[in-house]
Amino acid sequence: MGKEIKLALVYRDMWQSSGKYMPRVDQLVRVAEPIIDIGCLSRVETNGGGFEQINLLFGENPNKSVRAWTQPFNDAGIQTQMLERGLNGIRMSPCSKDLRKMMFKLKKLQGTDISRTFDGLNNPQNVELSFQYAKEGGMIAQGALSLTYSPVHTVEYYIDLADKYIEKGAEEICIKDMAGIGRPASVGKIVKGIRERHPNIIIQYHGHSTPGFSLTSSLEAARNGADIIDCGMEPLSWGTGHADLLAVHEMLRDAGFSVPDLNFKAYMQVRSLTQEFIDDFLGYYINQKNRSMNSLLIGPGLPGGMMGSLMADLANNLKSVNKWLTKNDKPTKSQDELLIMLFEEVQHSWPKLGYPPLVTPFSQYVKNVCLMNVMAMVKGKERWSMIDENTWGMMLGQSGKLPGELAPELKDMADVQQREFYTGNPQDLYPDVLPSFRKKMEEKGWDLGQDEEELFEYAMHPEQYEAYKSGKAKSNFEADLAKRKAEKNQGTSAAVAPVAAAAAAPMPKALVINVEGQTYNVSIDYPEGQQSNVAAPAPASNGAPKASAPANAQYILAPLEGKFYLTKDSGDTPIKVGDMVKKGDTIAYVESMKVINAITSTAEGKVEQILAQHGDDIDEDDQLIMIV
């Protein structure tokens, strides 16, 4: 027999690449034993990335989930692996040294063996501490090279990058082909180059199926020295996910590699359980477009892991764009038209942004700013009319040096807005936080948890943890799920309802519905062109309502839909009635598509009234602040 190739099932990433949520802990525990029984798996990806935030969002304790989910694999001798984001830990934004160090120690205690560390900019400086802390915590430190395709991301670039990661302390190397756009021959050359320089290091290949290269890339990686290949499985393989375990297993065996036998009955049991979880509730959060491969993504190179959120964002923005087009007597756009416009914009603007690898969180930043560009240009505005604060941080060097050069027009914008470029160590921007969060928990009377895991969770995901503790997260999730079920049922009945009757009948803004014995208050949004004849609630205000606006009143309007915030951080001072503002001043923020966007004043004068409350959901063009 030929060289032995090991296989890893990326069960966590299968879900993240398809939709929003992971299964509940009781479901994960049920599927663990059948996964073990498949018999040919040496590793399973159990947690990391967005796993813990997702747990919190539907009201589940992520620490208990990780412990219960990893235990069966620990007992069976199958290694568990997690994905972590270097400077960002397991969230979208950077975190402190003390929090990063605590994470690795804790995750090992909870049952995770291997830490796959990547940096969105492939910055060795940002992953060095992760390698150090992982090894100190007893984990295997794996360094992941975020693969993309550009004039600066060459085969030689990645071979040299592997050298730097190993020098910084990586014990294994992963080729992280998160968009699946690594050309197979190039993937093989990268693996071969690393293997020649480092004969004894473990190399693992991780590729998404999105544009169609991954099966061939897996074979090229194996032929050139990879030791482990990541796989998905039906009903969540292919599409924006990963090559299926059955296909990879048979392909490698046919090519002469030694792979363990596969228990097909156990595979089908895992497949059946996964489908059961989809039917239970997870399917309501999976866009069916993510179940198809799309070679159009070869050009923009957007990764499979973000396609679930991309399609949701696109649907929301399509509604906004078409609302504006209808109001201005222009033809509306279809979702596919908007998607192609976005892909073309990514290809145009990505080089101007300095070629950041399109991986979390920078894939989101590039996608978001490009989507804002598309929306602005559809409405006759200039490109770069709105750049969120997270993208500015990336461009200014607050996450490390960009692989390419920032376009002169963006450097000029930074100068005009008096934004400073940063050339230091990004970690220095984020001081230790554990003492302050420990104090907050003591004041609230909250238990720090086993191995202080609740302290870690609060410090890593403050807003989500507070919502979890209060019960708000669970109630919001249940209401959202009920709304999705109601909309699905309503869509079925609406298909046969007379149009005239629908137009004449009152269309409520809210319903009280019963789903499986549970009662929910559900708000209803209508498709473009359908309007409710029930009055919408008046906007909230922190000032006295005005009987009539002053003649010289000017309004700051919401630039896009999302959540309205008066401040970006809890320690910031919000504007208040009576403050004087100038044109261009940042006066509030809107969180949309996982990033924070500054709302700048389009008027000069005194703040007369604030018409939205901190944390309110707002729609594009809502009146937010009155200036006189």
In a domain, 9, yes or no: no
In this predicted structure, which of 22-36, 346-360, 524-538 has the lowest mean pLDDT?
A: 524-538
Could you tell me if 397 and 475 lie in one domain?
Answer: no
| Residue-wise pLDDT tens digits, 236-288 | 999 889 999 999 999 999 999 999 999 999 999 999 999 999 999 999 998 88
Could you tell me if 392 and 449 lie in one domain?
Answer: no
pLDDT band at 529 (very low <50, low <70, confident <90, very high): very low
The predicted structure's pLDDT at residue 423: 93
Q: Are 36 and 73 spatial neighbours (Cβ–Cβ below 8 Å)?
A: yes
In this predicted structure, which of 44-48, 325-329, 412-416 has the lowest mean pLDDT?
A: 325-329
In a domain, 180, yes or no: no
* pTM over cut 0.75: yes
Q: How many residues does the chain have?
A: 628
Whether the per-residue pLDDT at 531 is higher than 50: the answer is no
Whether the per-residue pLDDT at 1 is higher than 70: the answer is no
How far out from the chain centre does Cα 563 lie?
Answer: 17
The predicted structure's pLDDT at residue 504: 37
In a domain, 597, yes or no: yes
How high is the mean pLDDT of the chain? 87
pLDDT band at 67 (very low <50, low <70, confident <90, very high): very high
Counting the structural domains of the chain, the total is: 4
More confident residue, 367 or 124: 124
In a domain, 73, yes or no: no
Distance in angstroms (rounded) separating the CA atoms of residues 373 and 355: 17
Q: Pairing between strand 562-565 and 617-618? A: antiparallel
CATH label of the domain that carries residue 623: 2.40.50.100
In a domain, 422, yes or no: yes
Could you tell me if 512 and 597 lie in one domain?
Answer: no
The predicted structure's pLDDT at residue 438: 97
The predicted structure's pLDDT at residue 490: 79
Average pLDDT score over residue span 315-321? 77
Range of the domain at 455: 433-461
What percent of the chain lies above the pLDDT cut of 70? Answer: 88
Could you tell me if 438 and 456 lie in one domain?
Answer: yes
Average pLDDT score over residue span 345-366? 90
More confident residue, 159 or 526: 159
In a domain, 241, yes or no: no
3-state secondary structure of 249: helix
The predicted structure's pLDDT at residue 512: 46
Peptide bond into 235 cis (omega under 30): yes
In a domain, 8, yes or no: no
Could you tell me if 424 and 354 lie in one domain?
Answer: yes
Could you tell me if 379 and 480 lie in one domain?
Answer: no
CA-wise closest residue to 512 among 522, 502, 498, 499: 522
Could you tell me if 310 and 367 lie in one domain?
Answer: yes
The predicted structure's pLDDT at residue 545: 45
Could you tell me if 307 and 332 lie in one domain?
Answer: yes
The predicted structure's pLDDT at residue 422: 95
Could you tell me if 593 and 564 lie in one domain?
Answer: yes
Whether the per-residue pLDDT at 73 is higher than 90: the answer is yes
Could you tell me if 400 and 318 lie in one domain?
Answer: yes
Could you tell me if 302 and 406 lie in one domain?
Answer: yes
pLDDT band at 188 (very low <50, low <70, confident <90, very high): very high
In a domain, 311, yes or no: yes
Average pLDDT score over residue span 208-221? 94
Token pair of 174, please?
């992963």
Whether the per-residue pLDDT at 539 is higher than 60: the answer is no
Could you tell me if 402 and 440 lie in one domain?
Answer: no
Q: Pairing between strand 623-627 and 554-557? A: antiparallel
